Structure 1
Protein backbone atom coordinates (compact mmCIF):
# COMPACT_ATOMS: atom_id res chain seq x y z
CA UNK A 1 0.00 0.00 0.00
CA UNK A 2 2.88 2.36 0.80
CA UNK A 3 4.27 2.14 -2.75
CA UNK A 4 0.84 2.93 -4.22
CA UNK A 5 0.56 6.04 -2.09
CA UNK A 6 4.12 7.29 -2.62
CA UNK A 7 4.71 6.39 -6.30
CA UNK A 8 1.49 5.53 -8.14
CA UNK A 9 -0.88 8.03 -6.52
CA UNK A 10 1.08 11.23 -7.31
CA UNK A 11 1.53 10.19 -10.94
CA UNK A 12 -2.06 9.20 -11.64
CA UNK A 13 -3.45 12.06 -9.51
CA UNK A 14 -1.66 14.57 -11.74
CA UNK A 15 -3.13 12.89 -14.81
CA UNK A 16 -6.52 12.98 -13.10
CA UNK A 17 -6.49 16.71 -12.36
CA UNK A 18 -5.35 17.34 -15.93
CA UNK A 19 -8.38 15.38 -17.15
CA UNK A 20 -10.63 17.33 -14.77
CA UNK A 21 -9.15 20.65 -15.92
CA UNK A 22 -9.80 19.64 -19.52
CA UNK A 23 -13.37 18.56 -18.88
CA UNK A 24 -14.09 21.85 -17.08
CA UNK A 25 -12.35 23.81 -19.88
CA UNK A 26 -10.32 25.72 -17.30
CA UNK A 27 -7.37 26.24 -19.65
CA UNK A 28 -9.40 27.33 -22.65
CA UNK A 29 -9.53 25.75 -26.12
CA UNK A 30 -5.78 25.93 -26.70
CA UNK A 31 -4.61 24.72 -23.28
CA UNK A 32 -3.53 21.26 -24.47
CA UNK A 33 -1.55 22.65 -27.41
CA UNK A 34 0.22 25.26 -25.28
CA UNK A 35 1.13 22.88 -22.46
CA UNK A 36 2.29 20.16 -24.85
CA UNK A 37 4.42 22.76 -26.62
CA UNK A 38 6.05 23.83 -23.35
CA UNK A 39 6.77 20.26 -22.28
CA UNK A 40 7.90 18.98 -25.68
CA UNK A 41 10.03 21.97 -26.71
CA UNK A 42 11.41 23.23 -23.40
CA UNK A 43 10.92 21.31 -20.14
CA UNK A 44 11.42 17.71 -21.26
CA UNK A 45 14.48 18.44 -23.47
CA UNK A 46 16.03 20.33 -20.52
CA UNK A 47 15.44 17.38 -18.21
CA UNK A 48 16.90 14.88 -20.69
CA UNK A 49 19.93 17.06 -21.42
CA UNK A 50 20.83 17.56 -17.76
CA UNK A 51 20.25 13.86 -16.94
CA UNK A 52 22.82 12.91 -19.59
CA UNK A 53 25.25 15.79 -19.11
CA UNK A 54 25.75 14.99 -15.42
CA UNK A 55 26.82 11.35 -15.91
CA UNK A 56 29.31 9.43 -18.00
CA UNK A 57 27.92 8.03 -21.23
CA UNK A 58 28.81 4.50 -20.05
CA UNK A 59 26.23 4.83 -17.25
CA UNK A 60 23.46 5.39 -19.80
CA UNK A 61 24.33 2.92 -22.56
CA UNK A 62 23.09 -0.23 -20.83
CA UNK A 63 23.12 -2.93 -23.51
CA UNK A 64 21.11 -5.43 -21.45
CA UNK A 65 18.35 -2.84 -20.92
CA UNK A 66 18.30 -2.14 -24.67
CA UNK A 67 17.78 -5.85 -25.39
CA UNK A 68 15.06 -6.35 -22.77
CA UNK A 69 13.06 -3.16 -23.26
CA UNK A 70 13.78 -2.77 -26.98
CA UNK A 71 13.08 -6.44 -27.59
CA UNK A 72 9.74 -6.32 -25.80
CA UNK A 73 8.78 -3.24 -27.80
CA UNK A 74 9.77 -4.74 -31.16
CA UNK A 75 8.09 -8.10 -30.55
CA UNK A 76 4.87 -6.39 -29.43
CA UNK A 77 4.98 -4.16 -32.51
CA UNK A 78 5.27 -7.21 -34.78
CA UNK A 79 2.45 -8.97 -32.89
CA UNK A 80 0.29 -5.87 -33.35
CA UNK A 81 0.94 -5.81 -37.09
CA UNK A 82 0.00 -9.48 -37.38
CA UNK A 83 -3.17 -8.92 -35.31
CA UNK A 84 -4.24 -5.99 -37.53
CA UNK A 85 -3.74 -8.10 -40.65
CA UNK A 86 -5.70 -11.03 -39.27
CA UNK A 87 -8.58 -8.91 -37.94
CA UNK A 88 -9.20 -6.68 -40.94
CA UNK A 89 -6.81 -7.56 -43.75
CA UNK A 90 -5.23 -4.14 -43.20
CA UNK A 91 -2.66 -2.56 -45.51
CA UNK A 92 0.91 -1.93 -44.41
CA UNK A 93 0.27 1.64 -43.17
CA UNK A 94 -2.68 0.54 -41.03
CA UNK A 95 -0.72 -2.46 -39.72
CA UNK A 96 2.23 -0.25 -38.79
CA UNK A 97 0.08 2.31 -36.96
CA UNK A 98 -1.74 -0.48 -35.12
CA UNK A 99 1.64 -1.91 -34.12
CA UNK A 100 2.79 1.51 -32.87
CA UNK A 101 -0.36 1.89 -30.78
CA UNK A 102 0.29 -1.54 -29.24
CA UNK A 103 3.99 -1.00 -28.52
CA UNK A 104 5.00 2.68 -28.35
CA UNK A 105 4.71 3.60 -24.68
CA UNK A 106 4.38 7.02 -23.10
CA UNK A 107 7.92 7.04 -21.71
CA UNK A 108 8.67 10.72 -22.25
CA UNK A 109 5.59 12.15 -20.55
CA UNK A 110 4.81 9.38 -18.06
CA UNK A 111 7.73 6.94 -17.86
CA UNK A 112 10.48 9.38 -16.93
CA UNK A 113 8.40 11.07 -14.17
CA UNK A 114 7.39 7.62 -12.91
CA UNK A 115 10.98 6.35 -12.87
CA UNK A 116 12.20 9.50 -11.11
CA UNK A 117 9.43 9.17 -8.51
CA UNK A 118 10.18 5.47 -8.01
CA UNK A 119 13.99 5.43 -8.08
CA UNK A 120 15.03 9.01 -7.38
CA UNK A 121 17.01 11.29 -9.75
CA UNK A 122 19.01 8.36 -11.15
CA UNK A 123 15.73 6.94 -12.45
CA UNK A 124 15.95 9.48 -15.27
CA UNK A 125 18.73 7.37 -16.87
CA UNK A 126 16.73 4.23 -17.80
CA UNK A 127 13.75 6.47 -18.56
CA UNK A 128 15.84 8.53 -20.96
CA UNK A 129 17.27 5.46 -22.68
CA UNK A 130 13.76 4.01 -23.05
CA UNK A 131 12.54 7.30 -24.54
CA UNK A 132 15.39 7.28 -27.07
CA UNK A 133 14.69 3.66 -28.03
CA UNK A 134 11.03 4.53 -28.55
CA UNK A 135 11.47 7.77 -30.50
CA UNK A 136 14.58 6.92 -32.52
CA UNK A 137 13.81 3.20 -32.73
CA UNK A 138 10.27 1.87 -33.00
CA UNK A 139 8.62 5.18 -33.97
CA UNK A 140 11.13 5.76 -36.76
CA UNK A 141 10.80 2.18 -37.98
CA UNK A 142 7.01 2.48 -37.93
CA UNK A 143 7.11 5.74 -39.88
CA UNK A 144 9.33 4.13 -42.50
CA UNK A 145 6.80 1.33 -43.07
CA UNK A 146 3.92 3.83 -43.26
CA UNK A 147 5.82 5.92 -45.79
CA UNK A 148 6.71 2.82 -47.82
CA UNK A 149 2.98 2.17 -48.17
CA UNK A 150 2.01 5.83 -48.75
CA UNK A 151 4.83 6.55 -51.19
CA UNK A 152 4.34 3.50 -53.37
CA UNK A 153 5.20 4.56 -56.86
CA UNK A 154 7.14 7.62 -55.64
CA UNK A 155 10.36 5.81 -54.72
CA UNK A 156 12.03 5.01 -51.41
CA UNK A 157 13.98 8.29 -51.37
CA UNK A 158 10.84 10.29 -50.50
CA UNK A 159 10.07 8.04 -47.53
CA UNK A 160 13.62 8.19 -46.17
CA UNK A 161 13.71 11.97 -46.52
CA UNK A 162 10.43 12.54 -44.63
CA UNK A 163 11.41 10.21 -41.79
CA UNK A 164 14.90 11.67 -41.45
CA UNK A 165 13.56 15.23 -41.31
CA UNK A 166 10.98 14.25 -38.68
CA UNK A 167 13.63 12.64 -36.46
CA UNK A 168 16.15 15.48 -36.79
CA UNK A 169 13.47 18.11 -35.99
CA UNK A 170 12.56 16.41 -32.71
CA UNK A 171 13.70 18.59 -29.76
CA UNK A 172 13.91 15.44 -27.62
CA UNK A 173 16.30 13.76 -30.06
CA UNK A 174 18.33 16.97 -30.27
CA UNK A 175 18.50 17.28 -26.46
CA UNK A 176 19.58 13.66 -26.07
CA UNK A 177 22.24 14.00 -28.76
CA UNK A 178 23.59 17.22 -27.22
CA UNK A 179 23.57 15.79 -23.70
CA UNK A 180 25.37 12.65 -24.88
CA UNK A 181 27.99 14.77 -26.64
CA UNK A 182 28.58 16.90 -23.53
CA UNK A 183 28.93 13.72 -21.47
CA UNK A 184 31.24 11.96 -23.92
CA UNK A 185 33.52 14.98 -24.35
CA UNK A 186 33.34 15.84 -20.63
CA UNK A 187 32.38 19.43 -21.35
CA UNK A 188 31.82 21.48 -18.20
CA UNK A 189 28.49 23.29 -18.41
CA UNK A 190 28.61 26.65 -16.53
CA UNK A 191 26.80 26.44 -13.19
CA UNK A 192 24.29 29.25 -13.96
CA UNK A 193 23.30 27.47 -17.18
CA UNK A 194 22.95 24.12 -15.39
CA UNK A 195 20.85 25.67 -12.63
CA UNK A 196 18.58 27.24 -15.25
CA UNK A 197 18.19 23.90 -17.04
CA UNK A 198 17.56 22.10 -13.74
CA UNK A 199 14.81 24.58 -12.91
CA UNK A 200 13.26 24.28 -16.36
CA UNK A 201 13.57 20.49 -16.37
CA UNK A 202 11.92 20.19 -12.95
CA UNK A 203 8.68 21.40 -14.57
CA UNK A 204 8.72 18.52 -17.08
CA UNK A 205 7.29 15.78 -14.87
CA UNK A 206 4.22 17.55 -13.41
CA UNK A 207 3.41 19.40 -16.64
CA UNK A 208 3.79 16.26 -18.76
CA UNK A 209 1.45 14.25 -16.52
CA UNK A 210 -1.08 17.09 -16.44
CA UNK A 211 -0.86 17.31 -20.24
CA UNK A 212 -1.74 13.61 -20.56
CA UNK A 213 -4.94 14.24 -18.62
CA UNK A 214 -5.76 17.27 -20.76
CA UNK A 215 -5.26 15.24 -23.93
CA UNK A 216 -7.50 12.42 -22.71
CA UNK A 217 -10.29 14.73 -21.51
CA UNK A 218 -11.94 14.98 -24.94
CA UNK A 219 -11.13 11.51 -26.27
CA UNK A 220 -13.42 8.49 -26.60
CA UNK A 221 -13.04 4.85 -27.60
CA UNK A 222 -14.49 5.50 -31.06
CA UNK A 223 -16.05 2.79 -33.21
CA UNK A 224 -13.00 0.53 -33.73
CA UNK A 225 -13.47 -1.00 -30.30
CA UNK A 226 -12.22 -4.51 -31.07
CA UNK A 227 -8.95 -3.14 -32.44
CA UNK A 228 -8.69 -0.72 -29.50
CA UNK A 229 -9.11 -3.59 -27.04
CA UNK A 230 -6.51 -5.80 -28.75
CA UNK A 231 -3.97 -2.98 -29.09
CA UNK A 232 -4.48 -1.96 -25.44
CA UNK A 233 -4.00 -5.54 -24.22
CA UNK A 234 -0.81 -5.70 -26.26
CA UNK A 235 0.48 -2.52 -24.65
CA UNK A 236 -0.31 -3.00 -20.98
CA UNK A 237 -0.13 -6.81 -20.74
CA UNK A 238 1.78 -8.45 -23.60
CA UNK A 239 4.74 -6.06 -23.68
CA UNK A 240 5.56 -6.23 -19.93
CA UNK A 241 5.13 -10.03 -20.03
CA UNK A 242 7.66 -10.23 -22.87
CA UNK A 243 10.02 -7.98 -20.90
CA UNK A 244 9.66 -10.26 -17.86
CA UNK A 245 10.37 -13.30 -20.05
CA UNK A 246 13.54 -11.70 -21.48
CA UNK A 247 14.73 -10.31 -18.16
CA UNK A 248 16.34 -13.44 -16.58
CA UNK A 249 18.63 -13.82 -19.58
CA UNK A 250 20.07 -10.31 -19.51
CA UNK A 251 19.20 -8.27 -16.40
CA UNK A 252 18.77 -8.78 -12.67
CA UNK A 253 15.21 -7.99 -11.65
CA UNK A 254 16.51 -6.71 -8.33
CA UNK A 255 18.35 -3.80 -9.95
CA UNK A 256 16.97 -0.40 -10.91
CA UNK A 257 17.61 -1.13 -14.60
CA UNK A 258 15.75 -4.45 -14.45
CA UNK A 259 12.72 -3.00 -12.68
CA UNK A 260 12.70 0.04 -14.96
CA UNK A 261 12.73 -2.18 -18.09
CA UNK A 262 9.52 -3.90 -16.99
CA UNK A 263 7.92 -0.72 -15.71
CA UNK A 264 8.59 1.18 -18.95
CA UNK A 265 7.26 -1.77 -20.97
CA UNK A 266 3.96 -1.58 -19.07
CA UNK A 267 3.30 2.10 -19.80
CA UNK A 268 0.20 3.09 -21.80
CA UNK A 269 0.31 4.18 -25.44
CA UNK A 270 1.97 7.51 -26.18
CA UNK A 271 0.05 10.41 -27.69
CA UNK A 272 2.54 10.36 -30.59
CA UNK A 273 0.67 7.34 -31.96
CA UNK A 274 -2.44 9.50 -32.41
CA UNK A 275 -0.42 12.39 -33.88
CA UNK A 276 1.11 10.12 -36.53
CA UNK A 277 -2.21 8.41 -37.26
CA UNK A 278 -3.89 11.79 -37.69
CA UNK A 279 -1.16 12.97 -40.06
CA UNK A 280 -1.78 9.99 -42.34
CA UNK A 281 -5.56 9.81 -41.64
CA UNK A 282 -5.19 6.09 -40.90
CA UNK A 283 -6.26 4.23 -37.72
CA UNK A 284 -7.11 7.62 -36.14
CA UNK A 285 -10.03 6.48 -33.97
CA UNK A 286 -8.15 3.31 -33.08
CA UNK A 287 -5.04 5.17 -31.92
CA UNK A 288 -7.07 7.68 -29.91
CA UNK A 289 -9.13 4.95 -28.26
CA UNK A 290 -6.04 2.89 -27.47
CA UNK A 291 -4.39 5.84 -25.72
CA UNK A 292 -7.50 6.33 -23.59
CA UNK A 293 -8.14 2.66 -22.74
CA UNK A 294 -4.48 1.75 -22.12
CA UNK A 295 -4.02 4.79 -19.86
CA UNK A 296 -7.09 3.89 -17.79
CA UNK A 297 -5.99 0.23 -17.63
CA UNK A 298 -2.44 1.22 -16.64
CA UNK A 299 -3.76 2.60 -13.34
CA UNK A 300 -4.28 -1.04 -12.33
CA UNK A 301 -1.40 -2.70 -14.22
CA UNK A 302 1.33 -0.20 -13.34
CA UNK A 303 0.18 -0.06 -9.72
CA UNK A 304 0.26 -3.88 -9.55
CA UNK A 305 3.79 -3.92 -11.00
CA UNK A 306 5.00 -1.35 -8.47
CA UNK A 307 3.82 -3.65 -5.69
CA UNK A 308 5.04 -6.91 -7.26
CA UNK A 309 8.50 -5.48 -8.04
CA UNK A 310 8.74 -3.81 -4.61
CA UNK A 311 9.46 -0.45 -6.25
CA UNK A 312 9.59 2.59 -4.02
Structure 2
Protein backbone atom coordinates (compact mmCIF):
# COMPACT_ATOMS: atom_id res chain seq x y z
CA UNK A 1 0.00 0.00 0.00
CA UNK A 2 2.80 2.43 0.89
CA UNK A 3 4.62 1.64 -2.36
CA UNK A 4 1.47 2.20 -4.42
CA UNK A 5 0.92 5.54 -2.70
CA UNK A 6 4.54 6.56 -3.33
CA UNK A 7 4.26 5.71 -7.05
CA UNK A 8 0.99 7.65 -7.25
CA UNK A 9 2.59 10.68 -5.59
CA UNK A 10 5.39 10.58 -8.18
CA UNK A 11 3.37 10.00 -11.33
CA UNK A 12 0.12 11.86 -10.59
CA UNK A 13 1.56 15.41 -10.79
CA UNK A 14 3.25 14.59 -14.09
CA UNK A 15 0.17 13.20 -15.81
CA UNK A 16 -2.20 15.74 -14.23
CA UNK A 17 -0.20 18.62 -15.71
CA UNK A 18 -0.12 16.90 -19.11
CA UNK A 19 -3.87 16.34 -18.81
CA UNK A 20 -4.33 20.04 -18.05
CA UNK A 21 -2.70 20.88 -21.37
CA UNK A 22 -4.82 18.26 -23.14
CA UNK A 23 -8.07 19.63 -21.69
CA UNK A 24 -7.01 23.23 -22.37
CA UNK A 25 -6.80 22.53 -26.10
CA UNK A 26 -9.97 20.43 -26.19
CA UNK A 27 -11.87 23.34 -24.58
CA UNK A 28 -10.78 25.50 -27.49
CA UNK A 29 -8.49 27.84 -25.57
CA UNK A 30 -5.50 29.35 -27.34
CA UNK A 31 -2.10 27.79 -26.71
CA UNK A 32 0.79 29.06 -28.79
CA UNK A 33 2.91 25.93 -28.82
CA UNK A 34 5.72 27.42 -30.90
CA UNK A 35 6.18 30.35 -28.52
CA UNK A 36 5.99 28.25 -25.35
CA UNK A 37 8.33 25.60 -26.74
CA UNK A 38 10.85 28.25 -27.75
CA UNK A 39 10.60 29.87 -24.30
CA UNK A 40 11.14 26.52 -22.60
CA UNK A 41 13.95 25.21 -24.79
CA UNK A 42 15.79 28.52 -25.20
CA UNK A 43 15.52 29.88 -21.66
CA UNK A 44 13.88 27.72 -18.99
CA UNK A 45 15.40 24.31 -19.76
CA UNK A 46 18.97 25.64 -20.24
CA UNK A 47 18.72 27.43 -16.87
CA UNK A 48 17.44 24.23 -15.25
CA UNK A 49 20.25 22.19 -16.80
CA UNK A 50 23.01 24.63 -15.89
CA UNK A 51 21.98 25.13 -12.25
CA UNK A 52 21.27 21.43 -11.68
CA UNK A 53 24.72 20.44 -12.95
CA UNK A 54 26.54 23.30 -11.22
CA UNK A 55 24.96 22.50 -7.84
CA UNK A 56 25.07 18.72 -8.25
CA UNK A 57 26.86 16.82 -5.52
CA UNK A 58 27.08 13.66 -7.62
CA UNK A 59 30.42 11.97 -8.00
CA UNK A 60 32.08 12.94 -11.28
CA UNK A 61 33.07 9.35 -11.96
CA UNK A 62 29.46 8.24 -11.47
CA UNK A 63 28.25 10.86 -13.95
CA UNK A 64 30.84 9.73 -16.50
CA UNK A 65 29.78 6.10 -16.12
CA UNK A 66 26.14 7.13 -16.52
CA UNK A 67 26.91 9.07 -19.70
CA UNK A 68 28.70 6.08 -21.21
CA UNK A 69 25.77 3.84 -20.28
CA UNK A 70 23.39 6.32 -21.93
CA UNK A 71 25.44 6.30 -25.13
CA UNK A 72 25.65 2.51 -25.11
CA UNK A 73 21.90 2.28 -24.54
CA UNK A 74 21.12 4.35 -27.61
CA UNK A 75 23.42 2.11 -29.65
CA UNK A 76 21.65 -1.00 -28.34
CA UNK A 77 18.23 0.46 -29.16
CA UNK A 78 19.43 1.41 -32.65
CA UNK A 79 20.44 -2.19 -33.28
CA UNK A 80 17.26 -3.62 -31.75
CA UNK A 81 15.16 -1.15 -33.72
CA UNK A 82 16.79 -2.15 -37.00
CA UNK A 83 15.98 -5.80 -36.29
CA UNK A 84 12.41 -5.00 -35.24
CA UNK A 85 11.75 -2.90 -38.36
CA UNK A 86 13.04 -5.64 -40.65
CA UNK A 87 11.12 -8.41 -38.88
CA UNK A 88 7.87 -6.42 -38.93
CA UNK A 89 8.50 -5.00 -42.44
CA UNK A 90 8.23 -1.42 -41.18
CA UNK A 91 9.66 1.63 -42.93
CA UNK A 92 12.84 2.47 -41.01
CA UNK A 93 12.60 6.18 -41.94
CA UNK A 94 9.30 6.31 -40.10
CA UNK A 95 9.78 3.90 -37.20
CA UNK A 96 13.47 3.65 -36.29
CA UNK A 97 14.02 7.10 -34.77
CA UNK A 98 10.85 6.85 -32.58
CA UNK A 99 12.10 3.45 -31.39
CA UNK A 100 15.47 4.85 -30.31
CA UNK A 101 14.56 8.23 -28.83
CA UNK A 102 12.15 8.53 -25.93
CA UNK A 103 10.59 11.56 -24.30
CA UNK A 104 13.53 12.14 -21.98
CA UNK A 105 12.66 15.83 -21.57
CA UNK A 106 8.94 16.40 -21.08
CA UNK A 107 8.35 13.18 -19.14
CA UNK A 108 11.77 11.84 -18.22
CA UNK A 109 13.04 14.84 -16.28
CA UNK A 110 9.91 15.38 -14.10
CA UNK A 111 9.56 11.67 -13.31
CA UNK A 112 13.25 11.30 -12.47
CA UNK A 113 13.14 14.40 -10.27
CA UNK A 114 10.01 13.36 -8.38
CA UNK A 115 11.16 9.74 -8.02
CA UNK A 116 14.85 10.23 -7.16
CA UNK A 117 15.20 13.84 -6.02
CA UNK A 118 18.02 16.20 -6.94
CA UNK A 119 20.39 13.33 -7.72
CA UNK A 120 17.82 11.92 -10.13
CA UNK A 121 17.48 15.30 -11.79
CA UNK A 122 21.24 15.48 -12.35
CA UNK A 123 21.35 12.09 -14.04
CA UNK A 124 18.19 12.83 -16.06
CA UNK A 125 19.77 16.00 -17.45
CA UNK A 126 22.80 14.04 -18.65
CA UNK A 127 20.46 11.62 -20.42
CA UNK A 128 18.54 14.51 -22.00
CA UNK A 129 21.77 16.04 -23.29
CA UNK A 130 22.97 12.74 -24.79
CA UNK A 131 19.58 12.11 -26.39
CA UNK A 132 19.30 15.64 -27.78
CA UNK A 133 22.74 15.59 -29.40
CA UNK A 134 22.09 12.19 -30.97
CA UNK A 135 18.63 13.32 -32.15
CA UNK A 136 20.06 16.34 -33.96
CA UNK A 137 22.69 14.20 -35.69
CA UNK A 138 21.87 10.50 -36.10
CA UNK A 139 18.12 11.00 -35.58
CA UNK A 140 17.78 13.52 -38.40
CA UNK A 141 20.01 11.35 -40.60
CA UNK A 142 17.61 8.42 -40.14
CA UNK A 143 14.59 10.47 -41.21
CA UNK A 144 16.09 12.83 -43.79
CA UNK A 145 19.12 10.93 -45.05
CA UNK A 146 21.42 13.74 -43.94
CA UNK A 147 22.75 15.05 -40.67
CA UNK A 148 22.03 18.42 -39.10
CA UNK A 149 24.99 18.36 -36.76
CA UNK A 150 25.53 22.09 -37.16
CA UNK A 151 22.18 22.62 -35.45
CA UNK A 152 23.60 21.12 -32.25
CA UNK A 153 26.04 23.97 -31.66
CA UNK A 154 23.19 26.49 -31.94
CA UNK A 155 21.13 24.85 -29.20
CA UNK A 156 21.22 26.71 -25.83
CA UNK A 157 20.48 23.40 -24.12
CA UNK A 158 23.74 21.91 -25.38
CA UNK A 159 25.78 24.94 -24.30
CA UNK A 160 24.08 24.92 -20.89
CA UNK A 161 25.09 21.27 -20.49
CA UNK A 162 28.71 21.93 -21.44
CA UNK A 163 28.95 25.02 -19.23
CA UNK A 164 27.23 23.29 -16.33
CA UNK A 165 29.58 20.34 -16.70
CA UNK A 166 32.56 22.69 -16.63
CA UNK A 167 31.34 24.41 -13.46
CA UNK A 168 30.70 21.01 -11.88
CA UNK A 169 34.14 19.70 -12.84
CA UNK A 170 35.94 22.81 -11.58
CA UNK A 171 33.74 23.24 -8.47
CA UNK A 172 32.82 26.75 -9.58
CA UNK A 173 29.65 28.61 -8.64
CA UNK A 174 27.96 31.72 -9.97
CA UNK A 175 27.26 34.63 -7.57
CA UNK A 176 24.30 33.93 -5.33
CA UNK A 177 22.05 36.57 -6.91
CA UNK A 178 22.67 35.11 -10.36
CA UNK A 179 22.13 31.55 -9.14
CA UNK A 180 18.78 32.56 -7.63
CA UNK A 181 17.70 34.19 -10.89
CA UNK A 182 18.75 31.15 -12.94
CA UNK A 183 17.02 28.74 -10.57
CA UNK A 184 13.82 30.79 -10.63
CA UNK A 185 13.84 30.77 -14.42
CA UNK A 186 14.57 27.04 -14.52
CA UNK A 187 11.55 26.33 -12.32
CA UNK A 188 9.35 27.18 -15.30
CA UNK A 189 10.75 24.30 -17.32
CA UNK A 190 8.95 21.29 -15.84
CA UNK A 191 5.36 22.64 -15.86
CA UNK A 192 5.86 24.20 -19.30
CA UNK A 193 7.16 20.93 -20.77
CA UNK A 194 4.35 18.85 -19.28
CA UNK A 195 1.51 21.18 -20.28
CA UNK A 196 2.96 21.47 -23.79
CA UNK A 197 3.14 17.68 -24.02
CA UNK A 198 -0.57 17.51 -23.22
CA UNK A 199 -1.45 20.12 -25.84
CA UNK A 200 0.65 18.34 -28.46
CA UNK A 201 -1.04 14.99 -27.81
CA UNK A 202 -4.45 16.67 -28.00
CA UNK A 203 -3.68 18.09 -31.45
CA UNK A 204 -2.25 14.93 -33.00
CA UNK A 205 -4.43 12.61 -35.07
CA UNK A 206 -3.40 8.99 -34.50
CA UNK A 207 -2.74 6.77 -37.49
CA UNK A 208 -2.27 2.98 -37.75
CA UNK A 209 -3.41 2.43 -34.16
CA UNK A 210 -2.92 -1.35 -34.12
CA UNK A 211 0.70 -1.04 -35.23
CA UNK A 212 1.22 1.81 -32.74
CA UNK A 213 0.01 -0.33 -29.82
CA UNK A 214 2.27 -3.25 -30.70
CA UNK A 215 5.21 -0.93 -31.42
CA UNK A 216 4.79 0.96 -28.13
CA UNK A 217 4.67 -2.21 -26.06
CA UNK A 218 7.73 -3.73 -27.77
CA UNK A 219 9.63 -0.45 -27.44
CA UNK A 220 8.82 -0.24 -23.73
CA UNK A 221 9.87 -3.82 -22.96
CA UNK A 222 13.11 -3.71 -24.97
CA UNK A 223 14.07 -0.24 -23.72
CA UNK A 224 13.47 -1.11 -20.06
CA UNK A 225 15.39 -4.40 -20.43
CA UNK A 226 18.29 -2.62 -22.12
CA UNK A 227 18.39 -0.03 -19.34
CA UNK A 228 18.42 -2.76 -16.69
CA UNK A 229 21.21 -4.71 -18.41
CA UNK A 230 23.39 -1.63 -18.96
CA UNK A 231 22.90 -0.38 -15.40
CA UNK A 232 24.26 -3.73 -14.21
CA UNK A 233 27.05 -3.81 -16.81
CA UNK A 234 28.30 -0.33 -15.88
CA UNK A 235 27.93 -0.88 -12.13
CA UNK A 236 25.63 2.11 -11.61
CA UNK A 237 24.31 2.96 -8.17
CA UNK A 238 20.57 2.49 -7.45
CA UNK A 239 19.64 6.10 -8.26
CA UNK A 240 21.58 6.18 -11.52
CA UNK A 241 20.20 2.76 -12.45
CA UNK A 242 16.64 3.87 -11.78
CA UNK A 243 17.00 7.01 -13.88
CA UNK A 244 18.67 5.14 -16.76
CA UNK A 245 15.92 2.52 -16.90
CA UNK A 246 13.13 5.07 -16.49
CA UNK A 247 14.50 7.41 -19.15
CA UNK A 248 14.93 4.65 -21.73
CA UNK A 249 11.36 3.46 -21.05
CA UNK A 250 9.76 6.84 -21.75
CA UNK A 251 7.28 7.02 -24.67
CA UNK A 252 7.95 8.35 -28.16
CA UNK A 253 8.86 12.04 -28.12
CA UNK A 254 6.76 14.66 -29.90
CA UNK A 255 9.92 15.75 -31.75
CA UNK A 256 9.78 12.45 -33.66
CA UNK A 257 6.48 13.59 -35.17
CA UNK A 258 7.90 17.01 -36.03
CA UNK A 259 10.87 15.42 -37.82
CA UNK A 260 8.60 13.04 -39.75
CA UNK A 261 6.39 15.94 -40.79
CA UNK A 262 9.33 18.12 -41.83
CA UNK A 263 11.19 15.47 -43.83
CA UNK A 264 8.12 13.78 -45.34
CA UNK A 265 8.15 10.45 -43.57
CA UNK A 266 4.80 8.90 -42.53
CA UNK A 267 3.89 11.61 -40.02
CA UNK A 268 0.40 10.16 -39.43
CA UNK A 269 1.93 6.87 -38.28
CA UNK A 270 4.40 8.69 -36.02
CA UNK A 271 1.56 10.75 -34.55
CA UNK A 272 -0.10 7.47 -33.65
CA UNK A 273 3.10 6.30 -31.97
CA UNK A 274 3.33 9.48 -29.91
CA UNK A 275 -0.31 9.43 -28.78
CA UNK A 276 -0.57 5.70 -28.10
CA UNK A 277 2.81 5.33 -26.36
CA UNK A 278 2.13 8.39 -24.19
CA UNK A 279 -1.29 7.08 -23.15
CA UNK A 280 0.14 3.60 -22.48
CA UNK A 281 2.92 5.14 -20.39
CA UNK A 282 0.31 6.35 -17.89
CA UNK A 283 -0.10 2.68 -16.93
CA UNK A 284 3.31 1.22 -17.78
CA UNK A 285 5.61 3.80 -16.13
CA UNK A 286 3.94 3.54 -12.69
CA UNK A 287 4.37 -0.24 -12.91
CA UNK A 288 8.03 0.19 -13.79
CA UNK A 289 8.55 2.70 -10.98
CA UNK A 290 7.08 0.21 -8.49
CA UNK A 291 9.98 -2.09 -9.42
CA UNK A 292 12.62 0.62 -9.24
CA UNK A 293 11.79 2.19 -5.86
> What TM-score results when the alignment is normalised by the length of structure 2?
0.89
Structure 1 counterpart of 2:141: 144
Aligned pair 1:289/2:290, yes or no?
Answer: no
Distance in 1 (CA, whole Å) between partners of 2:143 and 2:228 is 30
Q: Is the 8 A contact 1:73 1:103 kept in 2?
A: yes
| Superposition deviation, residue 228 in structure 1 | 2.4
Structure 1 counterpart of 2:252: 269
Distance in 1 (CA, whole Å) between partners of 2:119 and 2:58 is 13
Question: How many residue pairs align between the two structures?
Answer: 290
Distance in 2 (CA, whole Å) between partners of 1:60 and 1:275 is 36
Distance in 2 (CA, whole Å) between partners of 1:50 and 1:60 is 19
Structure 1 counterpart of 2:83: 82
Structure 2 counterpart of 1:193: 178
Structure 1 counterpart of 2:154: 169
Distance in 2 (CA, whole Å) between partners of 1:15 and 1:104 is 20
- Provide structure 1 residue ranges, at least 5 long, that are not aligned to the other structure: 150-158
Residue aligned with 2:203, SS: coil
Give CA-to-partner distance per residue, 1:254-311, whole Å, 9 cap, x none. Answer: 611011111111111111111111110112112211111111111111100111222x
Range that drifts further, 175-184 or 44-53: 175-184
| Superposition deviation, residue 89 in structure 1 | 6.4
Structure 2 counterpart of 1:178: 163
Structure 2 counterpart of 1:251: 235
Q: Is the 8 A contact 1:235 1:294 kept in 2?
A: no
- Provide structure 2 residue ranges, at least 5 long, that are not aligned to the other structure: none
Give CA-to-partner distance per residue, 1:199-223, whole Å, 9 cap, x none. Answer: 011111111111110111121321x
Structure 2 counterpart of 1:203: 188
Distance in 1 (CA, whole Å) between partners of 2:107 and 2:61 is 19
Quote the RMSD (CA, aligned, Å).
2.3
Aligned pair 1:14/2:17, yes or no?
Answer: yes
| Superposition deviation, residue 230 in structure 1 | 4.0
Distance in 1 (CA, whole Å) between partners of 2:25 and 2:79 is 34
Residue aligned with 2:216, SS: helix
| Superposition deviation, residue 31 in structure 1 | 2.5
